Amino acid sequence: MSKQLHRNSHVKITERVSTRLKLKQLRLLVAIAEHSSILHAAEELFISQPAATKLLKDLETDFGVTLFSRTNRGVIPTEFGEALVRHGKLILAQISHAAQELDDLNEGLGGRVVVGTLLAASAELLPETIRNVHEQRPNVSIIVRDGTNDFLMPLVYTGEVDMVVGRLAEYRYREDLSQEVLYNEPAVVVCRSGHQLAKAKHVPFSQLVEQDWILPPTQTTLRRQVDKEFLDQDLPPPPNPVECVSFLTNRALLMSTDMIGVFPLHVVRKEILAGELVTVQCPLQISNSPVGVTYRSEKALSPAAASFLDELRKHAKAIKERESATD
């Protein structure tokens, strides 16, 4: 195909998408991709299966591409379908946010912010930011969703979450996203004050392997750092650890069992100062990791989300200053 023909083909697809694609069609495409089934997608949109099938065929005819393939796993998007579904999710999320913001403003709520949080930010940075935003802008609705990067980052891509706060995700999430370092934070190994390791001056790797552990999920940066430390010593990582991101659950396990765990320092600082938890003196060297915020772009943020981001930066700066003063 010559460059001119390729350019004409691109223009034709661009014109067709911009002039013919409707929101109902986008919803159908996204629903088919989510269910891998035209029947289930049709049921979700309250239309008949023949109507959904015809709508899909009409779209493929209009665009001149195949959007879905039928396989033994169901209806699977082609590369063209994946591209359109990905953009469709973002468009639908933005429209939903726009409608929600109009409703909020109409009801005097002042907009809303959806924040994803990782463990490193949940104990201090995020609560302080929420408290201050709530005091300054009480009409802003704040929604917090917790989880791991693997769960939260796709929601940033699709616009379902405005930003994610915590240990910064690795390189594979950086494309099309803005990542901003707020401060660096160490992680520590802790146990309850009555644990046999609590008063030990040195706990070698060989003894650490024998302990019952609470660890973050395998897909997290902190978990990979811990596993690497053991592998570098020609030792297997702790076998069969409890994997949990809920600190309430983790705290209860630490206090009632002989488990040990590794956590960002800010998460367990209060318990350490209160004497409930003790830092285990071991050679596990977990380097400082950047805690920060990830979002699509500042231009894509609503006024409420942009204000939340500004407060987040202020509180992160305050945390850095407190840490410098205590060093």
With bands split at pLDDT 50, 70 and 90, how would you rate the model's confidence at 300? confident
Q: Which CATH architecture has domain 187-287?
A: 3-Layer(aba) Sandwich (3.40)
Please give the pLDDT value at position 8.
46
The CATH code of the domain at 3-89 is 1.10.10.10
Q: Which amino acid, 143?
A: I
How far is Cα of residue 22 from the mean position of the Cα atoms in its chain? Answer: 30
Q: Does domain 108-184+290-326 have CATH number 3.40.190.10?
A: yes
Higher-scoring residue by pLDDT: 108, 166 = 166
Range from 13-17, 86-90, 98-102, 217-221 carrying the lowest mean pLDDT: 13-17
The answer to whether 294 touches 177, Cβ cutoff 8 Å, is yes
* Res 7 pLDDT > 50: no
Rounded CA separation 22/81 (Å): 15
Number of neighbours of residue 3 by Cβ within 10 angstroms: 7
108-184+290-326 matches 187-287 in fold:
yes
Q: How far is CA 141 from CA 98, 100, 103, 168, in A?
A: 14, 11, 12, 25
pLDDT of 9 higher than 60: no
pLDDT per residue as tens digits for the range 66-124: 999 988 888 999 998 898 888 888 888 878 877 776 776 665 456 789 999 887 667 78
| Region label for 74, one of left (φ > 0), alpha (ψ between -120 and 50) or beta (otherwise) | left
The pTM (predicted TM-score) of the whole model is 0.64
Tokens for 302, please give them.
Answer: 């609503």
Domain assignments of the chain as residue spans, ordered by start: 3-89, 108-184+290-326, 187-287
The pLDDT-based confidence of 17 (bands split at 50, 70, 90) is low
Backbone φ and ψ for 216, nearest 5 degrees, come out as -70, 165
Q: How many CB atoms lie within 10 A of CB 273?
A: 9
Segment 190-215, tens digit of pLDDT: 999 999 999 999 999 999 999 999 99
Per-residue model confidence as pLDDT tens digits over 37-79: 999 999 998 999 999 999 888 888 888 889 999 888 889 999 9
pLDDT tens, 277-297? 999 999 988 767 788 999 988
> What does the pLDDT average to over 268-277?
94
Statement: residue 274 has pLDDT above 90: yes
Residue 174 has pLDDT above 80, yes or no: no
